Amino acid sequence: MKFIALAAAAWCAAFSAFAANDPIAIVIHGGAGALERGRYTAEEEAAHLKALEEARDAGYAVLEKGGTSLDAVVAAITRLEDDPKFNAGKGAVFTSEGTNELDASIMDGASLNAGAVAGVTRVKNPILLARAVMESSVHVMMAREGAETFAEEQGLEFVDPKYFYTERRWKSFKRAQEKAKKGASLPAEFKYGTVGAVALDRAGNLAAGTSTGGMTYKRWGRVGDSPIIGAGTYADNKSCGVSATGWGEYFIRLTIARDICAQVEYGGKSVEDAANDVIFNRLDKTEGDGGVIVLGADGDIAAPFNTAGMFRAWRKEGETPFVAIYGEE
């Protein structure tokens, strides 16, 4: 019995030492799409890069202190939801009715548990509600009034819908409204905008989350890929974690996030090869475009996109932090 106890203690010590050497990492995005150079001034570019760095580092600080990947994902995404520069939370775009409808999802790679919300209008941070659905209900997705009733029961913070108003998004709405009145199709710039994060903690657990205001001038309660597990968000410790951004209808049809993880798990591909295949092969064969951030169970990172740019940043233990907007950076 004493030998067994000593052996068990030695095993635990060895496991702890091994776990302590596992890398920690976080990858975030602030949306992909019409991000051609010259669209933003130098000052606006600098402001976006700073916001990405701050959100990334907020999540990484959680990991450094021994926090979970779920906590790191939430820390990063709430920062982005509170920043009016990004299409999520405070910076959400307007629907055709002149309102804001917010979607979000989160997934735990260790348990495959997940939570999602769609069409909420008064919850300050939808990612917190998605996590509450995952951890405090038997459901995976809740929508609209029912999701907000649940949010009240969970004691989450509510805001007046006017909180989500920003002059920039309102002007974008008015431009879309004028085009719609003339029967013109909306340009690509109205179809993008999401935030997301994927993290790997010291215990080797992955988590992924995504949050969005959706598509500018969306109608009829439209829901994109962001709150759909397997399309906009997926995480599995056996493969990788993914958060997507782009034209949601195509990401739903192609189950983008799950496909990448499946190629890693069943095909033995690297996260880079799997992500590149899905974005530059499968997605490119459709009219869809966008990008993904991917973090492997081994800490490998990929962030391909087939648009002009994608707001993105990452930080991995022992490596130089990264932040960028455009391609070839």
| Catalytic sites, residue numbers | 194
Long-range contacts made by residues 45-52, C-beta under 8 angstroms, separation at least 24? Answer: 45/325, 47/85, 48/85, 48/311, 48/325, 49/323, 49/324, 49/325, 51/79, 51/80, 51/83, 51/85, 51/86, 52/28, 52/311, 52/312, 52/313, 52/323
Q: Return the DSSP state at 287.
A: S
Task: Determine the Cα–Cα distance for residues 24 and 247; give it in Å rounded to an integer.
Answer: 30
Q: What DSSP string runs through 135-185?
A: HHSS-SEEEHHHHHHHHHHTT--B--GGGG--HHHHHHHHHHHHHHHTTPP
Q: Nearest-CA neighbor of 56 among 318, 322, 325?
A: 322
Taking the CB of residue 239, how many other CB atoms lie within 10 A of it?
Answer: 25
Reading the block at residue 270, the tokens are 């690297």
- Which residues, including other chains, have CB under 8 Å from residue 77's CB and lie 6 or more apart? 28, 55, 88, 104, 127, 195, 196, 197, 209, 210, 211
The secondary structure element, H or E, covering residue 199 is strand 195-200
